[in-house]
Amino acid sequence: MKIAVCIKQVVTREWQLRVNDQKTWIRDADASFELNEPDAYALEEALRLKEKHSGEVVVCCAGPARATQVIREALARGADRAIHVESDALAAADATSVAAALAAAMRDEQFDLVLTGLQSDDQGFGQVGVVLADKLGIPHATIIMEVQIAEGALRVKRELEGGWFQWIGLPLPALLTIQSGINQLRYATLKGIMAAKKKEIRKVTPEAAGATQQIVALYLPEKGKQTQMIGGPAADAARQLVGKLRDEARVIQ
């Protein structure tokens, strides 16, 4: 079985976010980076499927040259080789642009299964996976909590709202977006780190394409407080308070 895992390099959660001078993205020149956590669960699931069914795990990453850091980490954890769609423009690109770049690099590989994390820790739209499936022309399922493969087909468990789950079947090839917590993550061993240095990373230059989404302004949440005094008779004050809690604060119905 030939499995692709799409991964992304994101700013570490401990780093204090700073907006750049253009107010269009974060100032990442002095930031530290890590593997997107949901993608780590997708990678782990791919490695477990490989151990059970044999085959190959290929990590695919769209991003600037610095993304080699997380690619090497994925190879050290057990992936066999990597495809790096390298472009500085992809660091903050929209989901459609990233999916198009990945699809162009992955299409000729003819993967049996493509796994992505449910969403990224930076933009968090959860759209790259589903758009990528559309561009590759394969079926997809989202928010996956369990994966079973038998007789050339998939049976997967999806997480729904309100504590409900859904089992569905899909033909192969297919794409799944993996929910965090589906498994227990492994970490790279010294042997894996040394082996990763010899594994192939195929560099791909994406075709120039116009962005479908533009960030007009980016800013940190503004903190503030305002006090309103409610006076008058107790009954009137109570009615005003209930109205504000219901209509303005929306903490009651």
Q: What angle do CA 4, 57, 115 make, to 5 degrees?
A: 35
CB 170 within 8 A of CB 153: yes
Dist. CA 61–CA 92, nearest whole Å: 13
Residue extents of the structural domains in the chain: 2-204, 223-253
At 37 the pLDDT is 95
CB 215 within 8 A of CB 25: yes
Dist. CA 182–CA 25, nearest whole Å: 31
- HSE at residue 71, side-chain half, CA atoms within 13 A, is 25
CB 178 within 8 A of CB 126: no
- Burial class of residue 66 in the structure, from the number of CB atoms within 10 Å of its CB (0-12 exposed, 13-18 middle, 19+ buried): middle
Which neighbouring-strand residues pair with 156?
147, 168
At 209 the pLDDT is 64
What are the residue ranges in the chain where pLDDT is below 50? none
At 123 the pLDDT is 85
Dist. CA 81–CA 72, nearest whole Å: 9
At 92 the pLDDT is 83
Could you write out the DSSP letters of every residue in 44-97?
HHHHHHHHHH--EEEEEEEE-GGGHHHHHHHHHHT--EEEEEE-GGGGG--HHH
- Burial class of residue 54 in the structure, from the number of CB atoms within 10 Å of its CB (0-12 exposed, 13-18 middle, 19+ buried): exposed
At 131 the pLDDT is 96
CB 58 within 8 A of CB 80: yes
Structure tokens at 133: 């499936």
The helix (H) or strand (E) run that includes residue 6 is strand 2-7
Dist. CA 6–CA 54, nearest whole Å: 19
pLDDT digit string, tens, across residues 172-191: 999 999 999 999 999 899 99
Q: Specify the pTM.
A: 0.83
At 115 the pLDDT is 98
At 210 the pLDDT is 62
Residue type for position 238: A
* C-alpha radius of gyration, the chain, whole number: 22
- Burial class of residue 68 in the structure, from the number of CB atoms within 10 Å of its CB (0-12 exposed, 13-18 middle, 19+ buried): middle
Backbone phi and psi for residue 250, each to the nearest 5 degrees, phi listed first? 55, 45
CATH topology of domain 2-204: Rossmann fold (3.40.50)
